[in-house]
Amino acid sequence: MEYDNKNIVLNELIGLRVKVVKSLDKKQAGTSGTVIDETKNTIVIEARKGTKKVIKKISVFKFYSGKHAFIVDGKEINFRPDERIEKGLKFYKRREI
């Protein structure tokens, strides 16, 4: 699957590299690594210093896919992974390619 700025909010995030570019929780800001799990409210990141749970709705993420990077507000992906296609369409329609 090739990711783009529009479809990133609908697709699988596990396995992508990620960086938390902004968060209301200062301890979570700057966390980077690989997404290893996801729940409705959190993304679990395998970082250099262990596993970190990051709260989606208070964070802004930068996901990396190949040479491309995509900024995603956590509110756009604050769904269970299996509900993302159904509920995330409103965010998909607002994003630009």
CATH of the domain at 18: 2.30.30.210
Asked if pLDDT for residue 2 goes beyond 90, the answer is no
69, part of any domain: yes
Q: Which segment of 12-16, 30-34, 61-65, 87-91 scores lowest on mean pLDDT?
A: 87-91
Is the pLDDT confidence value at 97 over 80?
Answer: no
**Terminal Cα-to-Cα distance of the chain (whole angstroms):** 16
Given pLDDT bands bounded at 50, 70 and 90, which one contains residue 75?
very high
The dihedral through the CA atoms of 11, 67, 33, 63 has a sign that is negative
Identify any residues that bridge with 33 across adjacent strands, giving them in sequence order: 18
1 in a structural domain: no
Domain count, the chain: 1
- In the prediction, which pLDDT does 81 show? 87
> Which pLDDT belongs to residue 42?
97
The model carries a pTM of 0.92
